[in-house]
Structure 1
């Protein structure tokens, strides 16, 4: 047995097995009614036909009779669906063509079997029969097409019949052109029938749930079918040329194959042809032009920047809108007051803005403006008046899509004309309107993000200025105390020396504040080191001796940032001095314990309530002192936490307050050094 005969046997045997299993499965369900029984009959006859081809010669009378019975059974199932779904259009014409073709083909088959016909005339009679079979198959495929459009639930049945009858049609056409059936096509018929049976099995398993073929899948199936038809036509022409060209047959076949391949590559690389093909397929194969689920996913992916091209949001918005309607480019106009300014462009040169007329019209009507209708004068008067100027004068501008975020007009996108000329319809408007709102939300979010970043920069400057202003207030308070005490102790040489030291320290600290306030100043993180806290506290007490008495006790070595720790203690001492008000000294107590180095700043002032300590003390701009900024305690805690420590507070109204700062102790080896 040859390889082709083996493929024919196994392909049709597999088809017979699957169709037979489907027949038994459906018969065991005890279904009632002609439609379901008709399906069982069609499945059974298809199984018998496949079994006949596998066991007998494919061109035998019995095989051809089984094929005719199979086709009649499936036509009956189609008629049942058509009657139930009330499919109109060309149904009557297609049914008439099928009936005539089946009648003629059956008559020819019966005549060949019953009446002796000369051998010279048998070939012509069989050719006429093949022509009738082709006519009937084409009409049957037209019926399947109308049924699938009108009834999505019938799509599995339609696809299965296309898989069976499509290969049949290719076999009939090849047999008619070449005078005989290639064995390769006969083998393909079996495997195609087996695949159709598998599809029907999956669809029947799903029950009455609706079966839908995605638009992308349908386009791929049509593309593969068209490519197969193109290759088949090329093979037929090349085979015919080998017979007509005689001695030059080989050269003619080579020329035909090379020419067909070149033509195919040229056609596939033409943007206009691809766009025209999509339009024609969408127009004649689908109820709606767009697959909205796929389009929405594509728009979301493009706007979110998942493509990885790194383009700014403006270009992504244009491209997302343009790709939906096959537009080759566009320009984004963002609203600035009463005008639209160019913000981005994609495959578009020499963009211009638009005036208040277009802004007001879009904001009021929310309409998508078709510029072809504006140029033709068939648009509304409002559209014509608003689109005057460069949008209407530029021939490649096709539509103006407004972008709304809520009820606010964010901008508009002007889209270029697609390669295939077509008018915008309601489906384009609906899709562009929804996608425009999605793009507007991304653009508004991008604007809000930039505004937030700018606000954060101002907030950082304001925070730095608030801290500096608080430090400046502390310096002013200290200088005020020095000036007040100078009236009483001006004759004391020790006081004058302290006063000079205080003025020098205040001047140095003011210069440091000015440096911190400068916009170009960037403070670097100070490295942590071993700090003698007792010595540091004593230096602060001596510096403030002209303001208020500070008593320091104890010492310890902490691992901290020296300047940050000094600033922290300055804040706490200033708060304690202001809270004391009288002559009672402020105490700084330094000690080492199991938690680390503890620094207590204690005053005998007015104290604070528990609710104030809990809710407002460490919040910026909340203060219990008249004229206070509420920054000192907040910044002190920030500084302590930055050094790995913490700040604790104990306060009673009328008794005073204890601020306790806990910092990490210096390691033993570094402390010894």
Structure 2
């Protein structure tokens, strides 16, 4: 019997990765799971050889001992990565440390003799290995790792959503069952300081059952999807009662085991206990069973079917916990399916472009390729009545062929409208009840409409937030466009000055040379503006280089050549974005030129000691005191008739981005002085 069980377990473990992929499009088992199953198969194989070949028992047992040492890293790695994001940072630091040092057990098993851990005075008849101190520590470490792996699998299962849990629960329970039998096997060894090899058949039988459950999960259930599970206090009391009964039964089995002298009978009894416990947990994780228990409790212990306050709080908490719009839509469908015990649900929302209701979110399956036009009679009736459409008895005759096929495929029961103000934003289609015998009454319909109002508000807020985001994007686009327009206006103004001067000095060779250079610079700047418009959504950082401020002043003054504009000062080096700073200088110079007539001078001074400065001074019309105090650097506000009100605002933003400041001194009808302060290069 032992040989047959072990051979079956080993064979199943070897072919498991291939069986799991026999279904078309089925996902292969994770590498960590395949490695863990391989280690379990190797342990079974060499324990079998130690029984079949007593003459070389210690040789086979040594190899088996090495495979036991690989159990902790293999199963811990699997438990930390299964159904979780592939992000090492998401693993707790302590668990990462434990995973990193787990190979030390394998190294100790490889390089130390078996006698350093166990001794067997009568292994031929008793099949018992006695542990010395090193062996006790070795198996205690294995037990701790296996418990941690089992806890990790439990956390994975409990933190998944409803549909994901339905998909992966058999695979998790299968792996958990094998970990559980290993924990029982090694815990008894630590309790009696012996490893009873007569319990090996129990391990083999549970491995076969575990692999069968994992195969079923891979082939039938497939990949996981997001779903949510909620539990009521009354249901929790049922869970506690069931678990309590389970432990009572285990205690009775433990008492009964004292009356069995044969080791195989004890192994069989242990296997039956674990199988019964596993069956109980499968039952507790069954959504249909939970729904039946919940309805039984509601009918026999409560006056109303629902605790409306609790249901409302659960639903609102679910919606408020959704971080993104897609999560919010999924939470709406999940909330309805969970509350009313439905296996499938689809949310349809209004698409104004297509004038139809399109599927956005589908539970347990991707949204179907079907839509309902606003002119369809079933939609019109739903929008006008604002009542739940009950399709359990018959599908409306007005439904077209595709709609009828959709309703029949999903065994549709209810269509719930989601209305806000005078429009229907969407509707939810629910089908495939978890409990086919459940009776839905006015209590269910009242709660459906109540939750539908909350869902409608959430959809309205989502729609308004999208509109607000679009408005902000357009506002940002307008703001950037205004900056570009202002830069273009400055360049056009500079070219206008060049053209005015050309009428008087075009025949002068030096002027022609200066004019060509200035025109070239202006064309380059216009090309830069075109590139900025092409990459408008991108945010460009400052491209800082070491720049001579006096040279910047001379180059910019050349663009407005011909006016009484004097550049003085000393060479000062600052680390700035050359193009951005030149915009500031050009804007200040043009403002000064426009504020003066042909007889009034404009002076540009460059200097600095600890801090560099560039000062533009004119003797023009000056700035009103009230305007200086309230609106000088405000966007879209200007004292010029044709001004855009962007120049000084943009200049202030650029200088502050460099860590500098702008100071202004002005007197009406006497002139203005703008000083730009910048950090000097180190």
- Structure 2-normalised TM-score? 0.56
| CA RMSD in angstroms, aligned pairs only | 4.1
Counterpart Cα distance in 2 of 1:531 and 1:259: 79
Conserved in 2, the CA contact under 8 Å of 1:590 and 1:600? Answer: yes
Query: Does structure 1 residue 568 correspond to structure 2 residue 588?
Result: no
Conserved in 2, the CA contact under 8 Å of 1:608 and 1:651? Answer: yes
User: Whose Rg is larger?
Assistant: 1
Q: 2:626 — aligned with what?
A: 611
Unaligned runs of 5+ in 2: 1-229, 256-265
Q: 1:206 — aligned with what?
A: none
Query: Does structure 1 residue 418 correspond to structure 2 residue 433?
Result: yes
Counterpart Cα distance in 2 of 1:434 and 1:441: 11
Q: 1:501 — aligned with what?
A: 517
Counterpart Cα distance in 2 of 1:569 and 1:231: 83
Shift, 1:570, TM fit? 1.0
Q: 1:472 — aligned with what?
A: 488
Q: 1:486 — aligned with what?
A: 502
Select which of 376, 392, 402 maps to 1:372: 392
Unaligned runs of 5+ in 1: 1-213, 240-249, 378-382, 668-673
Counterpart Cα distance in 2 of 1:263 and 1:303: 34
Conserved in 1, the CA contact under 8 Å of 2:235 and 2:293? Answer: no
Select which of 397, 412, 417 maps to 2:412: 397
Conserved in 1, the CA contact under 8 Å of 2:518 and 2:558? Answer: no
Shift, 1:393, TM fit? 4.9
Q: SS of the residue aligned with 1:300? A: helix
Map 1:43-442 to 2 at 5 A.
Answer: 216-225=232-241, 264=280, 267-268=283-284, 270-305=286-321, 312-337=327-352, 338-348=355-365, 350-356=368-374, 357-372=377-392, 375=395, 389=404, 393=408, 396-405=411-420, 408-421=423-436, 422-442=438-458
- Structure 1-normalised TM-score? 0.57
Q: SS of the residue aligned with 2:623? A: coil
Conserved in 2, the CA contact under 8 Å of 1:318 and 1:345? Answer: yes
Shift, 1:313, TM fit? 3.0
Shift, 1:634, TM fit? 1.1
Deviations 1:556-590 (Å, cap 9, x if unpaired)? Answer: 34343322221211111122222224332221123
Counterpart Cα distance in 2 of 1:636 and 1:520: 19
Query: Does structure 1 residue 624 correspond to structure 2 residue 639?
Result: yes
Counterpart Cα distance in 2 of 1:259 and 1:622: 80
Question: Could you say if the C-alpha distance between residues 647 and 407 of structure 1 is closer, same or farther in structure 2, counting changes exceeding 3 Å?
Answer: farther
Deviations 1:501-559 (Å, cap 9, x if unpaired)? Answer: 2222221211121111113785642344443322321222233213x231122233434
Query: Does structure 1 residue 583 correspond to structure 2 residue 599?
Result: yes
Shift, 1:295, TM fit? 2.7
Question: Could you say if the C-alpha distance between residues 536 and 235 of structure 1 is closer, same or farther in structure 2, counting changes exceeding 3 Å?
Answer: closer
Conserved in 2, the CA contact under 8 Å of 1:516 and 1:523? Answer: no
Shift, 1:648, TM fit? 2.4
Q: 2:659 — aligned with what?
A: 644
Shift, 1:354, TM fit? 1.3
Question: Could you say if the C-alpha distance between residues 441 and 582 of structure 1 is closer, same or farther in structure 2, counting changes exceeding 3 Å?
Answer: farther
Conserved in 2, the CA contact under 8 Å of 1:647 and 1:661? Answer: yes
Question: Could you say if the C-alpha distance between residues 591 and 418 of structure 1 is closer, same or farther in structure 2, counting changes exceeding 3 Å?
Answer: same
Q: SS of the residue aligned with 1:647? A: strand
Conserved in 2, the CA contact under 8 Å of 1:586 and 1:602? Answer: yes
Conserved in 2, the CA contact under 8 Å of 1:328 and 1:416? Answer: yes
- Matched pairs, number: 437
Counterpart Cα distance in 1 of 2:277 and 2:507: 111
Shift, 1:341, TM fit? 0.9
